Amino acid sequence: MSGLGKTYDFLGGEVLLFDKNLDWTSFDLVQRVRNTLCREMGIKKMKVGHAGTLDPLATGLMIICTGRATKLIESFQEKEKEYVATLKLGATTPSFDRETEEDNQTDASSVTRESFISVLQKFVGNIEQVPPLFSAVKVKGKRAFDYARNGEELKLQPKKIVIQKIDVESFELPYVTIRVVCSKGTYIRALARDIGEELGCGAYLTGLRRTRIGEFNVEEALSIDFFLKNLDSFVTN
């Protein structure tokens, strides 16, 4: 979906590209699209789903499928992803991002761009990654973040992932921005944790933006505000 200029068949099935707002959950976006379309089209329900969650503190590309196009969701989820992530070195948080307060600080002034790049290469390829406790991973019927927020002990098992590429976009201590191309199931927050542990100074995620899913790029995506303001151009009764 690139914008205006065509007729959309939402019940028949459409693949919509959105640039998710900061502080929105993935469910918020799906619910807003579903409710608005149902109200505009005068129907009670419609299948709407997303092809890959983004954390509330992340922005960027989300694929939203409607109607019969929801059958495509699994195939979209399997595609490689690209993210731009900003890490703060020399500190950690329990959630590995800004959702929780810093719980430890360490001097990271000895980390150079060269040593940082050297450490990054250890994470390229087929690796095992332990998901964050503050995640939607299901354990005994509950989400891991439910255990974490209740202060309960929980040990998550590592999962096999593939990181095809990591490039340094900027290096200005204590902040470093990287571009990551990876497989389904990769947690960039967990990658930040692991990079910090390998450096010996700790690190956590301060910003995350998904820029690509397979062949779909965030530059093609619409903002939810644009979609809602121009709804008459998308919906034909």
Digit-coded pLDDT (tens) for 37-55 = 999 889 999 999 999 999 9
* Residue 173 confidence (pLDDT) above 70: yes
Secondary element (H or E) of residue 178: strand 175-182
Query: Residues 34, 48: contact at Cβ < 8 Å?
Result: yes
CA 92-97-98 angle, 5° bins:
100
The residues near 74 (Cβ < 8 Å, ≥ 6 apart) are none
DSSP label of 125:
E
Question: What's this model's pTM, rounded to 2 decimal places?
Answer: 0.90
Phi then psi dihedrals of residue 86, to 5 deg: -110, 130
Catalytic residues: 55
Can you name the residues that pair with 88 across neighbouring β-strands? Answer: 175, 204
Split at pLDDT 50, 70, 90, the class of 156 is confident
Query: What CA–CA distance (Å, rounded) separates 1 from 8?
Result: 9
* Residue 2 confidence (pLDDT) above 50: no
Please state the rounded mean pLDDT for residues 78-104.
96
List the one residue out of 161, 163, 1 whose CA is nearest residue 72. Answer: 1
* Residue 1 confidence (pLDDT) above 50: no
The pLDDT, as a whole number, for residue 133 is 77
Please state the rounded mean pLDDT for residues 183-191.
95
Phi then psi dihedrals of residue 25, to 5 deg: -85, 165
Query: Which is more confidently placed, 81 or 154?
Result: 81
The pLDDT, as a whole number, for residue 206 is 98
Residue count of the chain: 237
Split at pLDDT 50, 70, 90, the class of 144 is low
Mean pLDDT of the chain: 90
